[in-house]
Amino acid sequence: MKKLTQTFLFLFLALQFPAQAQKVIELNKSRLDVGKRRFNIVQVVDARYDTTRLGIARLGLGNRKEPIILSGSLEPVLYQYFTSKIPAESGLPDVLLRVSRLGLWEEINVGGFEGARVAVDFEFFLRKGEQYASLGDRKFRFTEGLGTNVTKYHDDNLRAALQSAVDYLQDSVDWKKTDALPADMTLEQISQRITPRILTEGQLTAGAYKNFTDFRNNNPRLPIDYEMDGDKRILLIEGKKGKFRKVKPDDRLWGFCDGKDMYINQFGTFYKLEKLPGNLFQFNGVDYDKKLSNMAIGQASFGLIGALIASEMTKANHYIVDWETGSFLQKE
- Interval 281-318: pLDDT, tens: 998 886 655 545 544 444 444 444 433 434 444 556 78
Answer for the pair 25, 155: CB distance below 8 angstroms, yes or no: yes
CATH architecture of 18-190: 3-Layer(aba) Sandwich (3.40)
pTM of the full predicted structure? 0.81
Beta pairing partners, 238: 244
- Rg over CA atoms, the chain: 23
In the predicted model, what is the mean pLDDT of the chain?
83
Answer for the pair 160, 130: CB distance below 8 angstroms, yes or no: no
Kindly state the helix (H) or strand (E) to which residue 103 belongs, with its residue range. Answer: strand 94-108
Mean pLDDT of 229-244: 87
Mean pLDDT of 133-148: 87
The DSSP bridge pattern shows strands 64-70 and 23-25 to be parallel
CA distances for 239 relative to 74, 187, 258, 264, angstroms = 42, 46, 18, 20
CA distances for 100 relative to 93, 196, 207, 297, angstroms = 22, 10, 26, 37
pLDDT tier at 233, thresholds 50, 70, 90: confident
DSSP sequence for 125-180: EEEETTEEEEEEEEEEEEEEEEES--TTHHHHHHHHHHHHHHHHHHHT--GGGGGG
pLDDT tier at 120, thresholds 50, 70, 90: very high
Kindly state the helix (H) or strand (E) to which residue 122 belongs, with its residue range. Answer: strand 114-128
- In whole angstroms, what is the distance from residue 169 CA to residue 295 CA? 46
Model confidence at 331: pLDDT above 90: no
CA distances for 179 relative to 23, 115, 130, 182, angstroms = 43, 43, 15, 8
pLDDT tens, residue by residue, 30-79: 778 888 889 999 999 999 999 999 999 887 666 678 899 999 999 999 99
- In whole angstroms, what is the distance from residue 232 CA to residue 217 CA? 29
pLDDT score for 65:
82
pLDDT tier at 18, thresholds 50, 70, 90: very low
pLDDT tens, residue by residue, 72-110: 999 999 999 999 999 999 999 999 999 999 999 988 766
The 8-class DSSP code of residue 9 comes to H
C-beta atoms surrounding 271 within 10 Å? 18
Kindly state the helix (H) or strand (E) to which residue 101 belongs, with its residue range. Answer: strand 94-108
CA distances for 178 relative to 95, 130, 132, 191, 261, angstroms = 12, 16, 11, 22, 46
pLDDT score for 332:
65
- In whole angstroms, what is the distance from residue 184 CA to residue 230 CA? 59
pLDDT score for 315:
58
pLDDT tier at 218, thresholds 50, 70, 90: very high
C-beta atoms surrounding 254 within 10 Å? 18
Domain ranges of the chain: 18-190, 197-330
